Amino acid sequence: TRTEDGLFKRIVVGTDGSNTATQAVEKATELAKLTGAELNIVSAFEPVSKSRLAEEQRDAPEDIQYEISPTEDVNLTLEAAAAPGRKEGVEVMIHPVQGDPSDAILNTAEKINADLVVVGRRGRGGFLGRGGGFGCGHGAVLAEIRAQEDGLTSIVGWVERSETHHGSSGRD
């Protein structure tokens, strides 16, 4: 739910550590700082194989073996994405989620009752190609962020209450 003055309370952004995801995290962090919203950063993962884990634990110094886990790579990505926001005083929560990235983002948004979901460009059609598949029935807004050649970003489309709206909302 949005606050009474129209600002967001909970923002979700997905990252895989790529440049476009990093831009989306930066934009979501700016929005969270401006609105006082909680920022929730999601990253999907497939667990590290048991054989790789066993090998890494065997080769690691004893005092850090406990840190080697199936989610170690995704946790590093999430902590790196969260650090700038935390430094700016934004309340940041991280969510490593096993499975498909789109589902991880949308399921997390639903779970925490997010007001806004920010994603970077994903493939040809972007995240918005899922159309009515955006399942946050409580009315969250999904905004897709794309970088422009001049370094500016624009919101190129949005989804609200499972209805798809495409088009540019302008550059900032």
Farthest CA pair distance, the chain:
55
Query: Which pLDDT value is given to residue 64?
Result: 73
The pTM assigned to this predicted structure is 0.71
pLDDT confidence band for 163 (50 / 70 / 90): very low
Burial of residue 104, with CB atoms counted within 10 A of its CB: 0-12 exposed, 13-18 middle, 19 or more buried: buried
28: left (phi over 0), alpha (psi -120 to 50) or beta: alpha
pLDDT at 160 over 70: no
Q: What angle do CA 109, 19, 127 make, to 5 degrees?
A: 40
pLDDT tens-digit map of 51-95: 877 787 778 787 776 666 667 788 889 999 999 999 999 999 999
Structure-block tokens of residue 122:
């994903």
